[in-house]
Amino acid sequence: MNPLKGIRELVRGLQITGKHLGRHAITIQYPEQRWTMPERSRGIVVLLSDKETGELNCTACMLCEKACPTAAIRIDAPRDEKKKRHLKQFIVDHGLCCFCGLCEEACNFSAIKMATKYEFSSESKEDLVWDIKKLQELGRDVPYVDTRKKKKEAAKAAAAKAAPPKPEKAEQEKPNFPPKPESPSQAAEDNGRTTGAEKEQQSLQLGDERRQDDKEGQS
């Protein structure tokens, strides 16, 4: 037993707690202060609309309904004479939803997404069942990457039989980590364009492309 050593350790303990006492608390005072949720966090399910026409991206392919493990998605889309489905009603029951994000993964047309909003408590179960109008309204301002457009562009490019733009693009989109000697105006433009969210979107885009490529390769 060495009392002096023990006392030194006790004093060190006091130093540590004293140090923490002087620091500022890291708690977020919830209703007054909120976290900005990360772009890919999984909150409510929303339907996305085309940015130009304002119409829903959904083509009623029913893939999300099939992917949903809790059957929270109900789609009413009757076929017409040409056996083409027309979207009539799209219901998401947020009381059933388990926020797994499988619907978003299943969707090929960037029509459904999990937004960052996470506060939607209500007083009754019925209020959690949201119909197509509400889902569209909620999805209006949700930023997303339109994979359909890319498909169209790719199809156009293939039709024109020009040199495939993809490799060029890949070069451009590579992050300038070893900063290449660029013209200053271009660098400034780049800096202006690539905010954090956009960068993430770009990476998302790349990921989507890869996935699509894989699928194409499989088919």
Partner 1 sequence: MIGKPVLLAELHGLFQWLHEKLQATGLSQTWVDIITYATLGVIIFGVLSLIALYLIWWERKISAHVQQRFGPMRHGWHGWYQTVMDALKLLQKEDIRIVTRDKVVFFWAPVICFVAAFLAYVVMPFGDRLIVADLNIGILYIMAVTTFTIISLLMAGWGSNNKYALLGGMRSAAQVVSYEVPMVASILTIIIFVGSLSMMDIVKAQSGLIFNWYVFRIPFGPIAFLTYIVAATAECNRTPFDIPEAEQELVSGYNVEYSGMKFAMFFLAEFVNMFTVSAIAVTLFFGGWNGWDFIPSWIWFLGKTLIIVLLLMLFRWTYPRLRVDQLMEFAWKFLVPVTFANLIVAGIFKYFGWYW
Site residues (CB under 8 A) for partner 1? 1, 3, 10, 13-14, 16-18, 20-21, 23-27, 29
In whole angstroms, what is the distance from residue 113 CA to residue 43 CA?
A: 9
**Which CB, 19 or 83, lies closer to partner 1?**
19
Q: Which is nearer to partner 1, 30 or 177 (CB)?
A: 30
Residue 89: its H or E element = strand 89-93
Compute the least distance from the CB of residue 17 to partner 1, in Å. Answer: 4
Distances (CA, A) of 121 to 25, 44, 95, 166: 28, 11, 10, 45
CA distance linking residue 100 with residue 43, whole number of Å: 10
Q: Helix/strand/coil (H, E, C) string of 95-109?
A: CCCCCCCHHHHHCCC
Of 25 and 163, CB closest to partner 1: 25
Considering the complex, what minimum distance in angstroms separates the CB of residue 3 from partner 1? Answer: 7
Min dist CB 11 to partner 1, Å, is: 10
For residues 25 and 159, which CB has a smaller minimum distance to partner 1 in the complex?
Answer: 25
Closer to partner 1 at the Cβ: 7 or 62?
Answer: 7
Tell me the closest approach of the beta carbon of residue 35 to partner 1, in angstroms: 16
**How would you write 125-188 as a 3-class SS string?**
CHHHEECHHHHHHHCCCCCCCCHHHHHHHHHHHHHHCCCCCHHHHHHHHCCCCCCCCCCHHHHH
Smallest distance, Å, CB 38 to partner 1? 23
The nearest distance, CB 8 to partner 1, in angstroms, is: 13
The smaller minimum CB distance to partner 1, of residues 15 and 70, is found at: 15
Name the burial class of residue 104, with classes exposed (0-12), middle (13-18) and buried (19+) by CB atoms within 10 angstroms of its CB: buried
Q: In angstroms, rounded to a whole number, what is the distance separating the alpha carbons of residues 39 and 215?
A: 25
Cα–Cα distance, 190 to 120 (Å, whole number) = 37
Taking only Cα atoms into account, the Rg of the chain, rounded to an integer number of angstroms, comes to 25
